[in-house]
């Protein structure tokens, strides 16, 4: 496989949730690529479809949702595994989920069962994916415990020999997050999806988790899809950034280009809404309105929506206006 061939390729993915008022499009014709040994940051406001995109890749969406179109292709050497149109419980998806692509879920307290120790839960993943099925029960238990201890050490868990028998509620938020990362790394995946892994942590713990993921990425040579609403975190860890709004891609760019020369008016609006810790004290510029689509425009909060060539009566969408907007500085 060439170094520039993507490990994961998503094309025109659409995910819909039914409701009493009609179908809600959570992801709308989204395309993205993840290359070997890179961190793709996915950033956007709450409700932009970031987490649904992550769940779609692993095919662990809620039962009431459905994939309406598109492809999700994972490259395994010279072979390609198409996951979007395969059964969520079929052998193709099961060969990838957990083993080749794993996920750190958003809330450690809800991701772990409160009735079992973290050692038992991480060990279950180890036994499922790493140990031969014909291994005797006693040997399986001993080996899964040894591998679990190694995983806890690798993520910097203090006193892993003691904490392996702890229940989730007995751990601090930072320790629970480290334990969840250890579970995600149980099979040494090619791609790790980290869904808001720093959101519930204070600034010091956020920095520690970012440093931990960066180190593990270098040591294990894996790619990371880092999902967050925090542009500051994205600036620290990502190589490329995908900006989402209402299920669609607004802009994808290398991280330095995105912060120093954003093209899309929505990206610029996000940048203006960020507080800074240097320079003169200036008032924040909030983005007006709510994250709700209009019939003609999913980016009605764009500052140039009223002057866009894609307004009602022309193309019916703002895509042509967005392309025009990328060629000039919109203030």
**Positive or negative: CA dihedral 1, 190, 207, 194:** positive
Q: Which two tokens stand for residue 297?
A: 């425009």
User: pLDDT tens digits, residue range 229-263?
Assistant: 888 889 999 999 999 988 899 999 999 999 999 98
Contacts of 121 (CB under 8 A, 6+ apart): 112, 113, 183
4: nearest Cα among 32, 46, 37 = 37
Q: Quick one: pLDDT at residue 310?
A: 46
Q: Which two tokens stand for residue 315?
A: 């193309």
Q: Quick one: pLDDT at residue 55?
A: 93
CATH 3.40.50.300 domain span(s) along the chain: 8-260
- Which range has the worst mean pLDDT, 37-41, 131-135, 238-242, 324-328? 324-328
Reported as type and span, the H/E element at residue 213 is: helix 203-220
Average model confidence (pLDDT) across the chain: 82
Torsion of CA 183, 188, 191, 195, to 10 degrees: 10
Instruction: Report the C-alpha gap between 122 and 168 in whole angstroms.
Output: 12
Kindly state the percentage of the chain with pLDDT values over 70: 85
314 has pLDDT over 50: no
- Strand ranges for 246-281 from DSSP E: 248-254
Instruction: Report the C-alpha gap between 12 and 271 in whole angstroms.
Output: 27
Of the two residues 289 and 184, the one the predictor is more confident about is 184
- Beta strand 39-43 with 223-228: parallel, antiparallel or unpaired? parallel
303 has pLDDT over 60: no
Instruction: Report the C-alpha gap between 38 and 255 in whole angstroms.
Output: 12
Asked if the 8-260 domain carries CATH number 3.90.1150.200, the reply is no
């Amino acid at each position: 496989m060439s170094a520039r061939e993507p490990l994961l390729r998503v094309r025109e993915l659409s995910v819909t949730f039914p409701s009493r008022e009609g179908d809600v499009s959570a992801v709308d014709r989204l395309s993205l690529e993840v290359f070997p040994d890179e961190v793709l940051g996915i950033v956007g406001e709450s409700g932009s479809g970031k987490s649904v995109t992550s769940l779609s890749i692993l095919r662990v969406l809620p039962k009431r949702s459905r994939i309406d179109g598109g492809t999700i292709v994972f490259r395994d050497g010279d072979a390609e595994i198409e996951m979007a149109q395969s059964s969520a419980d079929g052998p193709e998806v099961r060969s990838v989920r957990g083993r080749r692509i794993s996920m750190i879920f958003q809330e450690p307290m809800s991701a772990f069962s409160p009735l079992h120790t973290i050692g038992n839960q991480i060990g279950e993943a180890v036994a499922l994916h790493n140990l031969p099925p014909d291994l005797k029960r006693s040997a399986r238990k001993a080996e899964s415990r040894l591998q679990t201890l190694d995983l806890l050490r690798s993520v910097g868990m203090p006193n892993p020999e003691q904490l392996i028998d702890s229940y989730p509620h007995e751990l601090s938020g930072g320790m629970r997050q480290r334990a969840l990362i250890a579970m995600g790394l149980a099979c040494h995946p090619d791609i790790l999806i980290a869904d808001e892994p720093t959101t519930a942590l204070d600034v010091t713990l956020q920095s520690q988790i970012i440093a931990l993921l960066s180190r593990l990425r270098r040591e294990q040579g894996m790619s990371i899809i880092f999902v967050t609403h925090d542009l500051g975190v994205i600036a620290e860890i990502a190589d490329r950034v995908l900006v989402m709004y209402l299920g669609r891609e607004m802009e994808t760019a290398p991280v330095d280009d995105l912060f120093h020369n954003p093209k899309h008016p929505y990206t610029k609006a996000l940048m203006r809404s960020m507080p800074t810790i240097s320079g003169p004290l200036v008032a924040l510029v909030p983005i007006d309105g709510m994250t709700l689509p209009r019939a003609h425009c999913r980016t009605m909060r764009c500052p140039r929506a009223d002057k866009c060539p894609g307004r009602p009566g022309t193309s019916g969408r703002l895509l042509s206006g967005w392309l025009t907007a990328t060629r000039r500085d919109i203030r």
